[in-house]
Amino acid sequence: MSAGRHLEDFVKGCIERLLASGQLGLDGRYCAVHRQKGYYSAERGKPIITDVSIEVQPPNTKQPALLWIWECKDYSNSVPVDDVEEFHAKLQQIGQDNTKGTIVTTSRFQESALAFAHAKKIGLTRVVKRKKIEPIGGMWLPQPNDLLTYNALICESEAVCRMAALTGNHRLDRFCFSLSPHQNWLSFDDCLTNLLIGTLARDISRDTT
């Protein structure tokens, strides 16, 4: 099985569990989750195949009232803004009035990708330890009032990347980067302070030996 197919199956399973537990804010009784389903694009004259999708169809209706499209990016490098722009174009073609979108990655997002996604209200999500998916900023889809938190995440993410490059230890984001306000991980400021006094550096060295 290819890495892309594996990630799609993994994300589909995560979404099904999130729906069942009510964490996506949708009534799972009226939702259907699909993998590799096509939705017609008038611009292309043929369907656009999506990685994973949720169709929300209320009772006694013939068509979904909402499509939630999930794009999976199994990358080792950061997701560039071009990928987010392309995904946005797909959403517009599928149905701009009843379609929402979220990108899931095993890596992280470039600063420009974060900014574009926020402007277009595209959700950004990371795979955490290959066990679950969690939204960046603690929200599945961006909200108008989360700009300060969002900008702080951009700064924190970029700073952690620079620290990892300077130290040569690319596992630093395990200690520094918090995807959710509910996780009790070190903030970047605390991480930097500890690194400067050598405490965290010794912990990392002990963990990797």
Q: Does 184 score more than 80 pLDDT? A: no
Q: Report angle CA 67, 26, 14 to the nearest 5 degrees.
A: 80
Q: What is the pLDDT of residues 141-170, one digit of tens each?
A: 655 444 334 444 444 444 544 554 555 444
Q: Is the dihedral of CA 189, 190, 196, 201 positive or negative?
A: negative
Spatial CB neighbours of 193, under 8 Å, sequence gap ≥ 6 = none
Class for the domain spanning 1-143: alpha beta
Q: Give the Å distances, CA to CA, from 76 to 38, 56, 79, 170.
A: 27, 32, 9, 12
Could you state, in order of their start, the residue ranges of all structural domains in the chain? Answer: 1-143, 145-209
Q: What is the pLDDT of residues 25-78, one digit of tens each?
A: 899 999 999 999 999 999 999 999 999 999 999 999 999 999 999 999 999 899
